[in-house]
Chains A and B, each alone.
Chain A
Amino acid sequence: MTFFIEVVLSGLMAGVMYSLVALGFVLIFKASGIFNFAQGVMALFAALTLVGLMEKFGFPIWLAIIGTIAVMIALAWLIERVMLRHLVNQEPIILFMATIGLAYVLEGMGDILWGSDVKVLDLGIPQGASDWMLDSFDIYIEKLEVFAAVTAAILVAFLAVFFQKTRIGRALRAVADDHQAALSVGISLHTIWVIVWSVAGIVALVAGIMWGSKSGVQFSLSLIALKALPVLILGGFTSVPGAIIGGMIIGVGEKVAEVYVGPFVGGAIENWFAYMLALVFLLFRPQGLFGEKIIERV
């Protein structure tokens, strides 16, 4: 039984890590209908910048984090200026293509600026197994994963308040619903986009920190975006809670399937389980668990 709990817990924690990446997608998709292919690379770029600032310039941790946030905001501004502004009113597929381009540009920039070797990210986040859990419940759980889960919870709470209660949050949701009408009431799309991409950049930074601490900052980090995809399909592209719960379901599903079903089919279920689950969802519930239903009236 403890073993089962251990599997589920580690699945949950891994799921939170997926959720952190998926969250960035949801934000941008909600506010602009753009599927941002570059979200994974943004996480990588943020982590690279953070490590770079600490290693090359000797910034203390807090200053490096503030510096990276500034860089992500500047990046958002640049993306709006150079890319989005010129693609107003274009088909979603064109914007999607543009984000693919952005992914390559960012990856190249990260390479040129900070080098391509694997870096260790040490922010003093507790590592290793939690002794307390091991002693009192005999359950093995990584401290880093607990830390990631708590961070994710804080982040989501913050985002929820931001979206539901503030003037800007309301404007973001308005833009998500109807660009034209938002323009007509005087909401500047340019400002909104910069804000959304900045927030997504900061979320990417958090994801980058967690993944970077776990497995080092390396270029394969950008591929975690692919794991976020089934999370989004499960949770719904437009739902923040959906991204979190979708991530957890996939995390747990993966681990449980690997441990209990894996042996019968020769293992390695973990790699494809999420995609199979996503496929099933696409067949039976395309808007995901929590996605906004398209309201259609006749």
Chain B
Amino acid sequence: MTEAATLTSNKTLLSVNNIEVIYDHVILVLKGVSLEVPEQGIVALLGANGAGKTTTLKAISNLLRAERGDITKGSIEFEGKRIDTLTSAQLVQQGVIQVMEGRHCFEHLTVEENLLTGAYTRRDGNAAINRDLELVYSYFPRLKKRNRAQAGYTSGGEQQMVAIGRALMSRPKMILLDEPSMGLAPQLVEEIFENVARLNRDEGVTFLLAEQNTNIALRYANHGYILENGRVVLDGSAAELRENTDVKEFYLGISEGQRINFRDVKHYRRRKRWLT
């Protein structure tokens, strides 16, 4: 109920309108994806491997071009302005930053240097940057202890913290978080998501996160979109999705009654497309 309340009271920060993405001029990956992220919301992008979650995030942050991908149809708006022609550097300056799947820390830089690269686009002076460095350390105290260690030698969980902290250093309005749970122990996943919730609540950062771990994503998000084969097949508030029988069956692994035969599943899915 509170989730619904926060959703409706906020205006839309990001809206993706019917985008189509093609890689290498031939491979059609997104076939018309639309979604909206409200200001200060946490929105989850769910789906299996290859559904198009990462591509959607990269389309927004415009990291696509470096991978020979192109948005061929549709538009992306952030704070009411078109952003699909901006470079990723310009986007970071506007307040949209992506934390990539698989952390992607700068291995040979120390933890602190990694964090400081996040402030590359900022022009508000060292004092402000150092303040934010302390802020990041207050969220991730473990990083403070390891601030002189080369990032390549830190653990997976610490690297994920570095990646999120690095993004925070750019003072973002919105973080696109790709697969934060990847390869991490359940306890660490919980810790990461706990921090996402805190950052959202205390710093007012909006999150759009792609996750395969539907269960945890729906616990922390207030809205969810489910992607299949480059299309949004289902969306709704997190509470709704958690109760949806299809989501339970296919994404949460909770069956009601007997298990559904695989042949039935395929059939069933086909009929269930285009719900939105």
Contact = CB atoms under 8 A, between A and B. Distances in A.
B166 interface: yes
B121 interface: yes
A180 B68 CA distance: 13
Contacts of B147: none
Given A170-B117, A187-B120, A181 B106 contact: yes
| Main secondary structure on A side of the interface with B | helix
A208 to B, nearest CB: 30
A186 interface: yes
B213 interface: no
A88 B116 CA distance: 25
A180 B104 contact: yes
A30 to B, nearest CB: 10
B116 A170 contact: yes
Interface string B88-111: 110111000111100011111100
B121 to A, nearest CB: 4
Interface residues of B, number: 35
B91 A186 contact: yes
Interface string B202-237: 000000000000000000000000000000000000
A295 B66 contact: no
A185 B164 CA distance: 11
Given A186-B92, A187-B117, A173 B106 contact: yes
A184 B100 contact: yes
Contacts of B117: 170-171, 174, 182, 185, 187
Given A185-B170, A186-B91, A173 B61 contact: no
A89 B104 CA distance: 16
Interface in B155-181: 156, 166-167, 170
B67 A184 contact: no
Contacts of B150: 295
Contacts of B92: 185-186
Contact of A186 (B97, B114, B116): B97
B93 A295 contact: no
Contacts of A138: none
A181 B243 CA distance: 37
A184 B91 CA distance: 9
Contact of B108 (A167, A292, A297): A292
B89 A188 contact: yes
A111 interface: no
A297 B89 CA distance: 30
A183 B106 contact: no
Contacts of B89: 183, 186-188
A179 interface: yes
Contact of B120 (A177, A178, A185, A292): A185
Contact of B109 (A174, A180, A187, A189): A174
Contacts of A185: 92, 97, 117-118, 120-121, 166-167, 170
Nearest to B68: A89
A297 B109 contact: no
A171 B109 CA distance: 10
A181 B100 contact: yes
Interface in B120-170: 120-121, 150, 152-153, 156, 166-167, 170
Contacts of B109: 170, 173-174, 177
A89 B97 contact: no
Interface in A261-296: 292, 295
B113 interface: yes
Nearest to A297: B152
B57 to A, nearest CB: 10
Contacts of A187: 89, 117, 120-121
Contact of A184 (B68, B97, B107, B108): B97
A139 B150 CA distance: 46
Interface of A: 88-89, 167, 170-171, 173-174, 176-189, 292, 295, 297
17 contacts: A170-B120, A171-B117, A174-B106, A174-B120, A177-B107, A178-B106, A178-B107, A181-B106, A182-B106, A183-B63, A184-B61, A184-B104, A185-B166, A186-B121, A187-B117, A188-B89, A295-B108
3 nearest A-B pairs in the assembled complex, by CB-CB distance: A186-B92, A295-B152, A181-B104
Given A181-B100, A184-B98, A185-B166, 13 more contacts: A167-B116, A171-B120, A173-B108, A178-B105, A180-B63, A180-B66, A180-B104, A181-B105, A184-B99, A185-B118, A188-B89, A297-B152, A297-B156
